[in-house]
Amino acid sequence: MGRFLLRRLLSAAATLLVLSVVVFAFLNVLPGNPGRAIMGNLADEAAVQALNEQLGYNDSLPTRYFRWVWGVVRGDFGQSYAFQRDNGPLIWDALFESSKLALMAFSIVVPLSLAGGVVAGLRKGRAADRTISTVGLSGIAIPEFVSGLLLVFLFAITWEWFPGQARADEGANVLEQAYHLVLPSLTLVIVLFGYIARMARAGTIDALESDYTRTATLKGLPRSTVLRRHVLRNGLVPTVAVVSTQVGYLIAGLAVVETTFVYPGLGSLIIQAIPKKDFPLLQSAILVVGIIYMVSTLLGDLVTAALNPRVRLGGDG
């Protein structure tokens, strides 16, 4: 397990390095003048160039890149010139809001989709299987903003069961905040149910048709014991990897849902920074998104390796 963890950490570090280079290079070759964006179109050109010099935008790209990376390593994410605040607090506040929405959606979609996938696998080819598979595929096919607007129209406008905006009033308690997060959470559940349920279904079917399940059945073990010890334990292992990638999406990839429900999360912050050409905020926020994805994937790999030793032993050949 130690060698497995070391390999994954080195792979994550290399991926993070490549991501930082790509993000920095891409954002810094886009057209735009940071000094002009800060001072406005009516500002004197000499003043704009002086500000660019002061902020270091006239330095070479390698110099600016290493200065940015060194700042990130020290916990300094730079300053947003669109919001006139340090990027660190902006990103962490938005990440905290996204985490609340992700936690609520995660607590609903994971048990629901796992149960649906297992039932579909156990009822392969039957009405339950076809129904669950159809519902899952339909949810995947519907864009988030369409399902979100439909939920708002039905449950917030027509029936007035839930609020249309996800952000509760300042000082609201936990239950009231959760109440405001119901509709955006259901939007995410609709999208993610199909992905996780399909993987759980496939894993369940593979485990049911495996030799170890047949052997356990022939030994006369009760069906409930066979399902618990052999089918579920082995069949759901591949689903862990899918769930881990969805955790990263739930925390860091919610731009469409957050925009639809006017929610101040990390995805919404990135969307706001794009038209303002706030490159320092964009590159730091996107880097944080990449870190979240890598951490969630790494945790998924570790859980998978703990459940299935063949995963961690495969790389040692």
- Chain centroid to Cα 61, Å, comes to 30
Query: pLDDT digits over 58-82, tens only?
Result: 778 888 899 888 988 888 888 888 7
* Per-residue pLDDT reduced to its tens digit, 238-263: 787 778 777 777 776 678 888 889 88
User: Is the confidence at residue 131, as pLDDT, over 90?
Assistant: yes
**Tokens of residue 294, six digits:** 């890598």
DSSP 203-252: HHHHHHTSHHHHHHHHTT--HHHHIIIIIIHHHTHHHHHHHHHHHHHHHH
Residue 317: the pLDDT is 38
Q: Beta 79-80 vs 85-86: how paired, if at all?
A: antiparallel
Q: Rounded to two decimals, what is the model's pTM?
A: 0.82
Query: Which amino acid is it at 141?
Result: A
- Tell me the sheet residues that pair with 80: 85
Q: Give the Å distances, CA to CA, from 220 to 212, 225, 227.
A: 13, 10, 13
128: left (phi over 0), alpha (psi -120 to 50) or beta: alpha
The per-residue pLDDT for 12 is 82
- Residue 93's pLDDT is 92
Q: What pLDDT does 267 receive? A: 87
The answer on pLDDT for 50 being more than 60 is: yes
Q: What is the CA radius of gyration of the chain?
A: 24
pLDDT at residue 56, as a whole number: 76
> 161 pLDDT exceeds 90?
yes
Q: What is the mean pLDDT of residues 209-236?
A: 80
Q: Which domains does the chain have, with CATH numbers?
A: 2-79 (no CATH), 88-314 (1.10.3720.10)
Question: How many whole angstroms separate alpha carbon 207 and alpha carbon 240?
Answer: 15
pLDDT at 193: 92
One-letter amino acid of 51 = L
**Phi, psi dihedral angles at 80 (to 5 degrees):** -85, 120
pLDDT for 30: 67
Q: Give the range among 50-54, 141-145, 163-167 with minimum mean pLDDT.
A: 50-54
Which comes out higher in pLDDT, residue 79 or 38? Answer: 79
